[in-house]
Amino acid sequence: MSKDNIINMKKINKYYDDFHVLKNIDFHVKKGEIVVVCGPSGSGKSTLIRCINGLEDIDAGEIIVDDINIHASKKNMQSIRGEVGMVFQHFNLFPHLTILENITIAQDLVKNVKKDEANKIAMELLKKVKLSEKANSYPSDLSGGQKQRVAIARSLAMKPKVILFDEPTSALDPETIGDVLSVMKDLAKENFTIVCVTHEMGFAKEVGDRIVFMDHGVIVEENSPKAFFENPQSKRAQNFLKEILTH
Ligand SMILES: Nc1ncnc2c1ncn2[C@@H]1O[C@H](COP(=O)(O)OP(=O)(O)OP(=O)(O)O)[C@@H](O)[C@H]1O
Ligand SMILES: [Mg+2]
């Protein structure tokens, strides 16, 4: 285990009642690394990344993110929320708040940032995701791709060190996927640490440093994107790739 790791998950075991969803997982991510997690539905990908920011409890093992032992105390759990951002498949924006308010609300609640400063940060982030003109709109007036870019801006407002993405483009219309991936590629260049569950192979090949393939609650194989896609080692990975390539 290297000192350069920002995420250290050691021997993680998790159950949903009797169901063993994560089986003795070791998962480490270096600062600035872009890791893509893939695998069949139900393999435990969402559960794995939700453990990294404490959205899920674990039954055994240890998760240390930026020297914070997440599950050791409530206080640690709170501090991790400011360090690890998360972007979900279905955006999870607040429908009754404007785009600007969606981005400022957590700054106010979690970080006590003053309103003027929070607005300024939010406008800068909206510019970054190319949605400045939507500041006063409501989520229902935006396309899926636009909503997802707002969700990314909202997560960046907390100045996280790590950003977790859970299938950020899989609920989008094909024509809006490119804009979201383009924002994510920009982040990848900015030295954020990113863990992204996705089956977007183009994204994985272009910016991924490593692919982690999961099945039935275990990490079956991990490799560089090129090696994984061109020469998957396990039968399970070969079948999975065959499956996604034919869809
Ligand atoms: N809250 C829960 N209670 C009980 N079982 C759950 C819960 N959340 C997930 N599971 C089960 O755990 C397994 C792993 O779920 P998870 O959502 O992590 O898979 P996934 O790899 O992200 O799948 P998908 O590609 O469909 O998103 C699945 O069998 C799922 O039904
Ligand atoms: Mg999932």
Note the pLDDT tens digit of each residue in 180-197: 999 999 999 998 999 999
Residue of 43, 48, 50, 212 to mutate, ligand 1, most atoms within 8 A of C-beta: 43
Q: Whose CA is nearest to atom 18 of ligand 1?
A: 44
What is the model's pTM? Answer: 0.95
pLDDT of the residue at 2:
63
Mean pLDDT across the chain: 93
Q: Which ligand is nearest to the CA of 38?
A: 1
Positions of E strands within the chain: 5-16, 19-30, 34-38, 60-65, 68-69, 84-87, 162-166, 193-197, 210-215, 218-223
Q: Is 198 in the pocket of ligand 1 (CB under 6 A)?
A: no
**Amino acid at position 101, single letter:** E
Q: Which two tokens stand for residue 129?
A: 């995701």
Of 50, 36, 66, nearest to 58 by C-alpha is 50
Q: What is the CATH number of the domain that holds 71?
A: 3.40.50.300
Q: Predicted confidence band at 4 (pLDDT cuts at 50, 70, 90)?
A: confident
30-34, 79-83, 114-118, 154-158: segment of lowest average pLDDT: 79-83
Higher pLDDT, 120 or 1: 120
Answer yes or no: is 37 within a domain. Answer: yes
Of 145, 159, 11, nearest to 71 by C-alpha is 11
How far is residue 55's CA from residue 58's CA, in Å, rounded to a whole number?
10
Answer yes or no: is 20 within a domain. Answer: yes
Q: Are 30 and 24 in contact (CB under 8 A)?
A: no
Answer yes or no: is 151 within a domain. Answer: no
Q: What is the mean pLDDT of residues 201-211?
A: 94
Answer yes or no: is 237 within a domain. Answer: yes
pLDDT of the residue at 52:
94
Answer yes or no: is 50 within a domain. Answer: yes
Answer yes or no: is 155 within a domain. Answer: no
In the reported structure, the alpha carbon of residue 116 is separated from the centroid of ligand 2 by a whole-number distance in angstroms of 37
Answer yes or no: is 195 within a domain. Answer: yes
Please measure the distance between the N-terminal and C-terminal CA atoms of the chain and give it in whole angstroms. 38
Number of folded domains that form the chain? 1
Answer yes or no: is 117 within a domain. Answer: no
Range of the domain at 232: 5-90+161-245
How far is residue 191's CA from residue 193's CA, in Å, rounded to a whole number?
6
How far is residue 47's CA from residue 229's CA, in Å, rounded to a whole number?
24
